[in-house]
Structure 1
Amino acid sequence: MMRKKTWGIGPVAVALCALATGAFGEPIHTRPDEAVLASFDIIETTIVTQGETAVFTTRVRGEAGKDKPDATGRFEGSSVYAYVWPTTLDSGAIGFDRAQGIVALAVTFHPDFDDAAYGGVNRHIWHPHWVVLAKDAACGGGLKVVDIPKGAKPKVPPTWPNVPLLIDSPDYKTTFRSDAVQVEIPVSLITGIRGASFDGVASGLKVNGNLHAPLLCVSDVFKVASGNLSLPGKVSPQK
């Protein structure tokens, strides 16, 4: 059985919103924890630049991507599993309005709905998203994907999937190899990625059963690379 940590608003949201930029530590190494499901037991997290490509990598104790949420047959109340890299990037760097919240890259799997760009189908594969997170005490993990209020017309990137959330569905190369998940993104598409700070998280999210805001909550935190979401990693060129 997977041990699920349901963290209140204090430990998760406060640590993330602090966005500690003074710490260094690339890669972030993490002790294995037999109490965490092996596919989510993070042991190493990195973001490096290789020339003009930013490479996001998370290694786990087991087989990355092996475990997926059960299908419910409904959108409302359905679950999402995710490998997440929270960062100090500004939301303007990924095509949204500036200063909207905490920018994170997430590789997700959700069997009950599609949220690909341009109406594409992605419910049966692991796939990447940019998400903007904010504190919300209504969520078990203290954080939500930022909602877009009805009638609002915020700036969104071209691959926004037309859902009322600050979420983007770009088509980045995403690879699972044994114990690692890796995403490759052109540096030119992420303003400020060089020198940004980061962390690693394995988490569960849940769609609100009433389809009201908050629509998509961080519901469970399976493991945090730093242990306290202090964002100790620093994006640097690969040595």
Structure 2
Amino acid sequence: MTATLALASVPAFAQHAGHIASPPNEKIDAAFDIVRTEVKSEGPDVVFRVQVRGKAGTIRPKPTGQFAGSAVYSYVWPTSLDSAGVGFESKQGILALAVTFHPDFDDAADGGANRHVWHPHWVVLVPDDACGKGSLKVKDIPAGTTPKVPATWPKVPLLIDSPTYPTTLATDTVEVRVPAPVIGATAGVKFDGVTSALKVNANLHAPLLCISNVFDVASGDLSLPGTIAR
């Protein structure tokens, strides 16, 4: 599949409370072939889950030995949440929760190491044709600017956050438990599911981190048909 992702209007017939069911696709690697995506309030947490046809997390990028040009693999939940909810300025783009693996660099908060484990991020996604026509990137922070960022921002020039939410990859499911106060009110909040690869710009300038390949989209069109359930 190409790297193209674009927001579409939400078709009325595609509304779901809490989950999105997706047909299996034998043409997609089983570890990234989404069959069910859900986001639900459970006790003190909002739980993000994605179920795939195969074993989650078994396919990882090959190390390159350097940051420039390296790859990131991800399980992503794009949402309709406002970016201000997790500590960025308001209305910066598509706020998404992502579980990522990248063997060539660390981007944990406060200089921590996370390159050897699947781990969560909040990212702000915006379109940029420099990544490919109709493609998205993690929003760059222009040099010389000091935007509002979360306390666990990893000090890279991107709108990205590195929280330490409990994250598990068990059999066919990826799960992240986000404390409910982080998100706040969830009534009417929409979501989708995506599996994708991203690539660090070999020249290390904006766009720094582009979506380079889309493996699967739960809705098929990034229309955010899911609604967070209680």
- For the aligned pair, the TM-score class normalised by the smaller chain equals over 0.9
Question: Aligned partners of 1:195, 1:183: CA distance in 2, in Å?
Answer: 20
Q: For residue 118 of structure 1, what is the aligned residue in structure 2?
A: 110
The equivalent position to 1:45 in structure 2, one of 32, 37, 45, is 37
Q: For residue 33 of structure 1, what is the aligned residue in structure 2?
A: 25
Partner secondary structure for residue 129 of structure 2: coil
Question: Aligned partners of 1:134, 1:193: CA distance in 2, in Å?
Answer: 22
Query: What one-letter code is carried by the residue in structure 1 that aligns with 2:117?
Result: I
Structure 1: state its 5+ residue gaps: none
Report if aligned partners of 1:89, 1:192 keep a CA contact under 8 Å in 2: no
Question: Aligned partners of 1:39, 1:149: CA distance in 2, in Å?
Answer: 35
Residue pairs, 1:208-219, within 5 angstroms: 208-219=201-212
Q: For residue 142 of structure 2, what is the aligned residue in structure 1?
A: 149
Q: Does 1:186 align with 2:179?
A: yes
Residue pairs, 1:14-163, within 5 angstroms: 14-15=7-8, 20=10, 24-25=15-16, 26-140=18-132, 142-163=135-156
Q: For residue 218 of structure 2, what is the aligned residue in structure 1?
A: 225
Query: What one-letter code is carried by the residue in structure 2 that aligns with 1:151?
Result: G
Report if aligned partners of 1:108, 1:129 keep a CA contact under 8 Å in 2: yes
Name the % identity. Answer: 59
Q: CA deviation at 1:52?
A: 2.2
Q: CA deviation at 1:142?
A: 0.5
Query: What one-letter code is carried by the residue in structure 1 that aligns with 2:26?
Result: E
TM-score normalised according to structure 1 size = 0.92
Q: CA deviation at 1:194?
A: 3.8
Query: What one-letter code is carried by the residue in structure 1 that aligns with 2:200?
Result: V
Report if aligned partners of 2:123, 2:138 keep a CA contact under 8 Å in 1: yes
Report if aligned partners of 2:22, 2:34 keep a CA contact under 8 Å in 1: yes
Query: What one-letter code is carried by the residue in structure 2 that aligns with 1:80?
Result: V
Q: Does 1:234 align with 2:227?
A: yes
Q: CA deviation at 1:21?
A: 8.9
RMSD: 1.3
The equivalent position to 2:2 in structure 1, one of 3, 6, 9, is 6
Query: What one-letter code is carried by the residue in structure 2 that aligns with 1:78?
Result: S
Partner secondary structure for residue 138 of structure 1: helix
Residue correspondences, number: 227
